[in-house]
Each structure stands twice: as C-alpha cells, then as structure tokens.
Amino acid sequence: MAQHSSARPFHHPQPGSALACGAVSLEALARRYGTPLYVYSADHMVERLALFQQALAGREHLVCYAVKANSALAILNLLAGRGAGFDIVSGGELERVLAAAPEAAGRVVFSGVGKTAAEIDRALTAGILEFNVESEAELDLLAARARKLKMRARFALRVNPDVFAETHPYISTGLREHKFGIGIRRAPAIYKRAARNRWLEAHGVSVHIGSQIRSAEPFGAALERVNKLVQQLRRQGIVLKTVDAGGGLGIDYHDGSFDAEAKAAEYAAALERALSGFEGRLLLEPGRFLVAQAGALVTRVLYVKQNGKKTFVVTDAAMNDLIRPALYQAWHEIVPVRPRAGKARIVDVVGPVCESGDFFARDRKLQPVEPGDLLALLDAGAYGMAQSSNYNTRPRPAEVLVEGAKPRLIRRRETLADLLAPEWMPAKADSAAIERRRLSALALSARRRPLGV
C-alpha cells in the first residue's frame, strides 16, 4: 500500500514549494487550465477502493461506488477498471456508467425513491444487477414494466431499520420519519407477495442509514436487523442472494492524517459480525470515502477586503462551484498553494456570488494571502462538482485527474456559449404578436373589472 493511502494526496514536496497533487504542482495546473479548477488524484481513489476490497477479501462482495458523489466519466471508468460496481439514483447516472464502462452494467444497483417507468425500462434492458425498491408502489411498477418487456426483474427491498446515526439531518436516512425505504416489519409480507409474481425475482435486501457517519457501530446495528430479516425469509422459503449495506462511511474533514485503512477495517469487521450465517454476496456503496479527500478546488484570490473589524478574502470560486459550506455549514480545510511568511489572521473566505451565504469559511485562521495568490479547498472530491450550478450565470470549473506525474483534463471549463445554447427567444415578428395578445388580454380584463374597483 502506498504511504499516503490514509491521508490527503496534497502536499508540499519541499519547504516553501507550491502545494502539489502527487508529483504535479497546483500552480502549474492553474496556469495551464485556469481557476476555479477541480483537481483529483486517481492514485488516491484507487487506493481507497482497494482498502474495502482487501478488508472484505474473505467474503464474496462488490463495492458499488455511489455515482452521486462525483459522476465524472473518467472517474467512473477508472474505478470500473479496478472491479468496482456502481450505485445509481437516476437514469442520467445510468447513462454515465454505460458511457464510461458499458461492461459494468451488470454491476449496477439502482437506488432512489422516485424511479420513472422510462428509467426502469432502460435499466432492465441494460441488464443491471438489481433494483433497490423503496415502496410497494414502485415494486408494482417494476413488475408491470418487466411484464411489458418480458424480462424478469431482480429486486432488493430497501428496508428502514429505524437506526439513528449521528450526522447532519439533511443526510440522515435511516429513521421511520424519512422519505426513504420500507419499514422492516412490513418487508416479509411484501417479499411473500412478490414471490407469486413471475416477473419479479427477490434477489436481495438493501439498507442505507445516512451519509458522513464516522462510527462503524450504526452500520453493524442496521445489518444485524437486516440479517434477522434474511434468516426469517429463508425459513419461509425465500432465499436472498445479496445484502446491500449501503454507503455513508465518513471521513475527517478537519484532519489530514485520518487513518482510512483502520476505518475501512473497522467498518468491514462490523459488517462481518452482523452478517453471521449469511452466505450470499455483500454489496456496499461508498462514495465520499473513495473520492472526497482525493479532490481539491483550486481558486485564485481576487481581493482582500476590510469591512470594519472583518477581513474578507474574496476568491474567484463561489457557492455555485462548491455549495457544501453554504448548504450544510460544512468545513473544508483551506490552505495557500504557496505559503507566505507572516502571522495568520482571522478572515472570512467568500466568493463573488450575490448572496451573503456565498462563503467557504467564516472566522477562519488563514496564513497571509494577497490578490493573485492561489488557495486550495481540500477534501472537495465528493459533492463538489456534482452539486455545482450555473447560478449568477457562472460557467462551471474545469476538472483535472492526476495519475502519477501525469495530469489529464477530464472536463473542460464551461463557456458562456454553453450556458446560453439550450435557450431561445421568439423571433421579432413573434414578439410583436405576443405584445398584441398581452394588450388584448389587458383590455379584456379591464372590461370585465367590477365597477368601483
């Protein structure tokens, strides 16, 4: 295992040198590709995937990367080539997997509470591994689509074990008041009903209790309840082939020395204990754990502004590029790419978007920076580019994947032409007709208005 597998891949090769991703300077990347810029380490992602594969080597398993964390085609292709499967939550994500690695279709699990008939049809014809079904109505639709296509549909019920996991309320999913899953006590009756439908195959059972969970204990508790259900179904003659443990294993956004190897081993051990007696295939759906610390958002300082007692560092990146601090009050370590000498000071690091919520850090101690300097927002590989937008008509950043000493542009920077391309305006003649209709409607409205109003 490479020495840096348990830490961030971003480092200063020598004292006073520019921050690098592997062997590649972030200054050089910023000069070549501009800013804001997402930079990812391919080596780091592969190492994180291998941690799970090695920790679970004693059991048949499949690591299904959660595509929603970062759906870049190059990253999907990279992980597919190392044996990963994929957890998807939309038809669009399925198309990304098929574009990046068509041979991986049989390693796809389809989650999500609102699958459409068209999405189900596409997934059936693509030959995915299984559907993680989240409601009885969805199971009925799956059966109907499978019957229409004359294809048997493999499914796993996503059961809700009502296990509490300490995390942000927006990313907690395992309690009965959440929109996800089916009550675990209701599941046996649903499996029994499905067994009578020739177009459905009860293939597995699925659970997902939330995201950014730092302890292995809640995962073990959830899987113990799931295993009891599996054994109960076996006694009733329904033998499930897979247990999907979901994802959600978190990282430490505050500590670059986070021991990922120990955390993956602890997680795998908890699952193994909980699944005693189950001889089928274990599926798991890590996302953030594989890619978050592999990525950084590189941004350039535009201004350093004093407002009363507050100091603002204004960057060319904004909340549309990385929304996690504004959305979740999430912490991202922020470091100068080339440190300056001098005393650190307390600043707010903010973007140029016209919102007070456009910030990356508030009251953060930061080494001295000047306009033109580069900053790196670390641990931005998950839910960074994936949640980006064009708010304020801002083109989204470019993305670069670094493998060894070789950087590769995997997504070019958007242009204003890209943003305007899907839109249209009526021709001038049509505009005149629209104005005539508007005036006619106003006149009609005035005639119908009651007297005295």
The sign of the CA dihedral 375, 379, 381, 385 is negative
Separation between Cα atoms, residue 243 and residue 277, nearest integer Å: 12
Q: Quote the distance between the C-alpha of residue 136 and its chain's center.
A: 26
Three-class SS of residue 47? helix
Q: Quote the Cα angle for 266-268-274, to 5°.
A: 105
Residue in 57, 137, 341, 354 annotated catalytic = 354
Q: Is 354 tagged catalytic?
A: yes
CB 282 within 8 A of CB 271: yes
Spell out the residues 6+ positions from residue 233 whose beta carbon is closer than 8 angstroms to its own: 188, 191, 202, 239, 240
Question: Within 13 A of 33's CA, how many CA atoms are on the CB side?
Answer: 27
CB 158 within 8 A of CB 207: yes
Separation between Cα atoms, residue 196 and residue 429, nearest integer Å: 61
Residue count of the chain, please give it: 453
Separation between Cα atoms, residue 113 and residue 271, nearest integer Å: 25
CB 145 within 8 A of CB 188: no
Phi-psi region of 393 (alpha: psi -120 to 50; beta: other; left: phi over 0): left
Name the nearest CA neighbour of 39 among 385, 371, 314, 361: 385
C-alpha torsion 182→188→189→193, nearest 10: 100
Name the nearest CA neighbour of 159 among 126, 223, 118, 207: 207
Tell the burial category of 425 from Cβ atoms under 10 Å away from its Cβ (0-12, 13-18, 19+).
exposed
Which of the 8 DSSP states describes residue 85?
Answer: E
Q: Name 364's bridge partners.
A: 347
Q: Name 242's bridge partners.
A: 204, 281
Three-class SS of residue 261? helix
What are residue 263's phi and psi, to 5 degrees? -65, -40
Pairing assessment for the beta strands 200-206 and 281-284 based on DSSP bridges: unpaired
What are residue 94's phi and psi, to 5 degrees? -60, -45
What is the token pair recorded at 28? Answer: 């050089």
| Catalytic positions, written as ranges | 354
